[in-house]
A and B are shown apart, each in its own frame.
Chain A
Amino acid sequence: MLTNIIEQLLNGLRTGSIYALIALGYTMVYGIAKMINFAHGDIIMVGAYALYVAIINMQLPAIPAVLLTCVTCAVLGVGIEKVAYKPLRKAPPLAVLITAIGVSYFLQSASLLIFGATPIPFKSIIDVPAIKLGSVTVSGLTLVTLLVTTVCMIALTLFINKTKAGSAMRAVSEDKGAASLMGINVNRTISMTFAIGSFLAAVAGILYICQYQSLRPTLGALPGIKAFVAAVLGGIGSVPGAMIGGILLGIIESISKAYISTELADAIVFGVLVVVLLVKPSGLMGKNSTEKV
C-alpha cells in the first residue's frame, strides 16, 4: 500500500515536473509581457519537431541537436513577438491573446502540413539509469527533468531578481513608458523575455518527447493549458510559484486518478484549483496586488 502511494506520488512528480518546466517559460512571458501566450505550448511542439529533425534528418549528435533546438525556438519566439505581438503594444491585452491563439493555430497547421498527422515515434536521447530506493524505482528521466526544472527555476529567479536585465524586465512589465525613461530598451527587453521563454519551451519540448516518445502537431496544446493552470495556481509571475504549481498539479492529478476516480480526475484537479484560489486569490506564491488607494 505504502509502495503504491509512493509510486503514485512519483508518477505525479514525473508529469508535474514537466508541467513545472513548461509553466516556468509560461510565467516568464506571462509575468513580464503581461500576456497569456497561448502559443507557448506550440513552441514546445516546434521544439520537439526541431529535435527530431536535428537527430533523425540531420543526423546530429545529441548535444548539438539540443543546442540547435533551443536556438531555433528562441529565434522563433522572438520572431513571433516581432511579427504578431509587437504591433499590438498599444492594443488591449486581450487583442494580443487572440493573436496568440492565431499563432497557435498557425504553428499547428504548419507542422501538420510539413510532418503530417500521423504520430511519429521518437526514441529518447536521454539515457540515465533508474534509481532504486527500496521497493520503488525512480526513472532516470524523471530525475533529469526535476533537476533541469530546478536549475532553470533557480537561474530564472536569480536572473529576474538579481540582475540588471532582470529588474529592467520587471520595470518594463509595469510601465513601458517609465521604463524607457530609465534608458531601458523596451523592445529589446521584451524580445529577450520571449527568447528566454521560448528557450525554456524548447527545453521542455525536448524533455517532453524524451518522456513520451511520440510527436504530433497537437502535442503542445494540452501541456500548454496545464502549464497555464499551473502558473496561475502558483501565482502569476512568480517563478518558484510556477514550479510548485506545476508539480502540485501533477501530483493532484495522479493521486485523484489513483484513489478517487480516473473518470472524474480532471474535475477533481480543477475543483482543487478553484478551492485553492478561493482561499488564496492570488495563487500559492502570488503577491497580493500592490495597488494603493
Chain B
Amino acid sequence: MKSGILNRQYTALIVPIGVNIMLAVSLNLVTGFLGELSLGHACFMSIGAYTGALISTSMELPSYAEFFLALIAGGVMAAVFGFLIGVPVLRLHGDYLAIVTLAFGEIVKSILNALPFTNGSKGLSKIPMYSNYQHYTLVFILVILTIVIITNLVKSRHGRAICSLRDNYIASESIGIPVSRFKVLAFVIGAFFAGIAGVVYAHNVGIIKPTTFDYNKSIEILVIVVLGGMGSIKGSIIAAVILTVLPEMLRGADDYRMLLYSIVLIVMMLFNNSEVKERLLEMNLFKRHQKEVD
C-alpha cells in the first residue's frame, strides 16, 4: 500500500494498464498486421477470464500453481475459440468479417449468460486476487512476454506472411502463402494472448460478468490499437497507457468527464493524422519514423 510515488488511485491502474496493453498488442496482430477489423476481441478475453476463474475458484492448489494453470488454460481455451472463429475468416474479409467477429462475441456472451456453471448474469465472484496490484511483478512479466513474443513473430517469416495478406492477398496467394492458414494463425495467437489478459483481468477485479465483455469492450480495445497506430506495437503500448489513465485524470471534471474524454479522443485522432504531426516528424523525428514504417 505504501506505493511511494503513486497514490492509490493510480496504483489501482497498474494492472488494468497491463491488461489493456496485452489486449491491444494482441488485437494489433489481427487488425494492424493481418489487416482484418475484429470487433470481437473481448470475446476471447471473456473465454480466458471465465476459464481461468473457474479453475482458480474450484481448485485447491497452491496459489502460484493455480494461477499458472489458470493462465495456460485460459489462453489455450481462448485460442481454441480463435480457431473456431477462424473458420468463417477463411471465406470473409473486410466489414463482413468484422460483423462476424462481433456476432461471435455476442453469441459467446449470450451463452455465458445461459450456461449453468457460469452463474448467469450474476457472473463469477470471489475470484482470488492473484494478479492485483500487489502482484504487479507477475503482471509485468506477462505483459513483457506478450510484447516480446508478438514483436518477434511479426519480424519473422510467419509475420511477414501475415503482413503480406494485409497488403495484397491476391499477390500473397500467388507467391504460395497458404492464406487461410495464416489468417487463422493470426486469430489464434491474438486470441491466446487476449485469453491470458482475460485471466489477469479476472484475478485482478475478482468478479466477472458476461456484460463486461460486450462489444463496447471490444471497441475500447480497438480504439487503443487505432490511436496507437495500426501495426505499431510501441504505439499500442503508449495508447493503452494514455487511454487507461485518461478517464481517471478527468475525474476532477465530474459531470463533464465523458464529454471531455470524447473530445480528447477526437482531437487525438485528428492530431495523429494531421499535417501538424507530419511536420513535427519531418523536422526531427523523421529518421525514427521511417524505421517504424519499414
> Which residues of A are interface residues toward B (Cβ below 8 A)?
36, 38, 84, 87-88, 90-92, 94-95, 97-99, 101-106, 108-110, 112-113, 225, 228-229, 232-233, 236, 263-264, 266-267, 270-271, 273-274, 277-278, 281-283, 291, 293
Contacts and interface: CB of A to CB of B under 8 A. Distances in A.
Contacts of B222: 94, 97-98
Contact of A113 (B95, B113, B255, B265): B255
B266 A103 contact: yes
Interface of B: 31, 37, 88, 91-92, 95-96, 98-100, 102-104, 106-107, 109-111, 113-114, 170, 215, 219, 222-223, 226-227, 230, 255-256, 258-259, 261-263, 265-266, 269-270, 272-274
B262 A103 contact: yes
A84 B271 CA distance: 11
Which 9 pairs from chain A and chain B are nearest by CB?
A: A105-B262, A267-B110, A270-B103, A109-B258, A91-B273, A106-B262, A102-B266, A102-B265, A109-B259
B43 to A, nearest CB: 11
Contacts of A108: 258
Contacts of B274: 87
Given A278-B91, A293-B170, A95 B273 contact: yes
Contact of B262 (A109, A266, A273): A109
B102 to A, nearest CB: 8
A36 B88 CA distance: 21
B99 A84 contact: no
Given A87-B274, A98-B269, A277-B96, A105 B258 contact: yes
16 contacts: A98-B226, A101-B265, A102-B265, A103-B266, A109-B259, A112-B258, A232-B95, A232-B99, A263-B113, A270-B102, A270-B110, A273-B99, A274-B107, A277-B91, A278-B91, A282-B96
Contacts of A92: 230
Nearest to B257: A109
Main SS at interface, chain B: helix
Contacts of A236: 95-96
B5 to A, nearest CB: 31
B271 to A, nearest CB: 10
A76 to B, nearest CB: 15
A101 B218 CA distance: 12
A106 B263 CA distance: 7
> Which of B109, B170, B270 counts the most A-chain CB atoms under 10 A from its CB?
B270
Contacts, number: 125
Contacts of A104: 262
Contacts of B100: 273-274, 277
A105 B273 contact: no
B226 A97 contact: yes
B38 to A, nearest CB: 11
Nearest to A106: B262
A200 B290 CA distance: 44
Nearest to A96: B269
B259 A110 contact: yes
Contacts of A95: 226, 269, 272-273
A95 to B, nearest CB: 6
Contacts of B227: 98
Nearest to A97: B226
A264 B110 contact: yes
Contacts of A102: 262-263, 265-266, 269
Contacts of A283: 96
Nearest to B94: A236
Contacts of A263: 110, 113-114
B99 A228 contact: yes
Contacts of A106: 259, 262-263, 266
B95 A94 contact: no
A267 to B, nearest CB: 4
Nearest to A38: B219
Contacts of A228: 99
A49 to B, nearest CB: 16
> Which of B222, B269, B272 counts the most A-chain CB atoms under 10 A from its CB?
B269
Nearest to B85: A274
A282 B274 CA distance: 34
A271 B107 contact: yes
Nearest to B223: A98
Contact of A277 (B88, B170, B258, B259): B88
Contacts of B256: 109, 113
Contacts of B31: 94
B293 to A, nearest CB: 13
A278 B85 CA distance: 12
A270 B110 CA distance: 10
Contacts of B110: 263-264, 266-267, 270
A99 B259 contact: no
Nearest to A263: B114
Contacts of B88: 274, 277-278
A229 to B, nearest CB: 6
B266 A99 contact: yes
Nearest to B110: A267
A273 B92 CA distance: 13
Contacts of B107: 266-267, 270-271, 274
Contacts of B114: 263-264, 267
